[in-house]
Structure 1
Amino acid sequence: MFAIPAELQAHIRTRLTEDPGAVIDHVARDLGTTPAAVIRCLPPEEARVVDGALFEDVMLACAEWGEMTMIVHTDDVILEAKGCIPRGKKAHGHYNLHGAPIGGHFKYENCAMIAFVSRKLFTSDTRSIQFFNKDGGCMFKIYLGRDEQRNLRSDQVAHFEALRDRLANAG
């Protein structure tokens, strides 16, 4: 999945070492590669990858965790929606979320890879689940919520780590 030439891997790792809080999408753009390639070059303590076929399992788990932030990041916009992920269901070739403020229709069969990412973004610790399509582009990201002191919610971190470990160790 997403073969990465050794020379490109070295460039990505150098960039991430020089700027450990870099935005994955920016690193990918600057190096002429995909966000999935950058994620695959993160050390295992920062990113664990599972098969995209687990899309529904991951989404149903997230629906139980409370308020989080869903992000869609394109070249032109970073769209954020904060709320609870609704329980979805498959129908008509999509995974459908009927909720507010988070709702939509996802071509779940296009999801090739899911990454559980634990790293700093700028200077803040983050935990996110990132969904990648067959071309290595990021479909969307789900970031764990924060408490009143801007710390990651410990209950969500525990759910994230348990799901990550269960799915990563099952494959």
Structure 2
Amino acid sequence: MTPTIAEALAATPHGALEDIAKAAGTTPLAVLYALPAGEVSAFPGRLMVEVLDEMADWGEITLVVNTGPVILEAKAPLQGGSVAQGMYNFKGKPIGGHLKIDACARVAFVRRKLFGTETRSVQFYDTAGGCMFKVYLGRDAKRQMLPGQIAAFDALEARLRETAA
């Protein structure tokens, strides 16, 4: 019998949302919405460009794309982008590519333990409930999240909450 989302979360509370979703037979977005209070703030996907542009000033981050059998990570600063033909086009290297803007349904600010380590990330979800990609805050040599990025994350989340209210 397939566990409920709550049961799958209880079994692996610090696991990847994609793994929990697979166990529960649902989408990562459904799992995101089931996280405990205070772990997530979700906003409309139309804010994707604004969020990515602001994150360009955060310094080195870790961009993660988790397709299930493949988890790709890139550690580098986001360098902003431009919008053309319905796409957000990353400017820089090594993180480059093109994101279809209207495919993004939700932008989520997530605070949770992942495999036992405190994390903060901005996650971008598509219209089918899948996670397009995640941007985790950078870490110093002692594996601590960078205070400047924590402050920027908190400030952007607070500003979006105020404008959404």
TM-score (normalizing by structure 1):
0.91
Following superposition of structure 1 onto structure 2, how do residues 4-153 of structure 1 map, counting pairs within 5 Å? 11-153=4-146
Give the superposition deviation at 1:76: 2.2
Number of matched pairs = 163
- Partner Cα distance (1:144, 1:44) in 2: 21
Task: Report Cα offsets for 1:120-140 as digits up to 9, x if no partner.
Answer: 001110000000000001111
Give the superposition deviation at 1:166: 1.3
Equivalent position amino acid for 2:32 in 1: I
TM-score (normalizing by structure 2):
0.94
Give the superposition deviation at 1:165: 1.5
Deviating runs (4+, > 3 A) in structure 1? none
Task: Report Cα offsets for 1:81-139 as digits up to 9, x if no partner.
Answer: 11000111101221000211101100011100011000000111000000000000111
Give the superposition deviation at 1:44: 2.9
Task: Report Cα offsets for 1:38-77 as digits up to 9, x if no partner.
Answer: 0011123111101101011100111010000111110221
Equivalent position amino acid for 1:41 in 2: A
Equivalent residues of 2:82, 2:91 under 8 A apart: no
CA-based RMSD: 1.4
Seq. identity, % = 45
Structure 1 unmatched ranges of 5 or more? 1-7
- Partner Cα distance (2:7, 2:155) in 1: 30
Task: Report Cα offsets for 1:6-59 as digits up to 9, x if no partner.
Answer: xx9x92223323422111000001111100000011123111101101011100
Equivalent position amino acid for 1:124 in 2: T
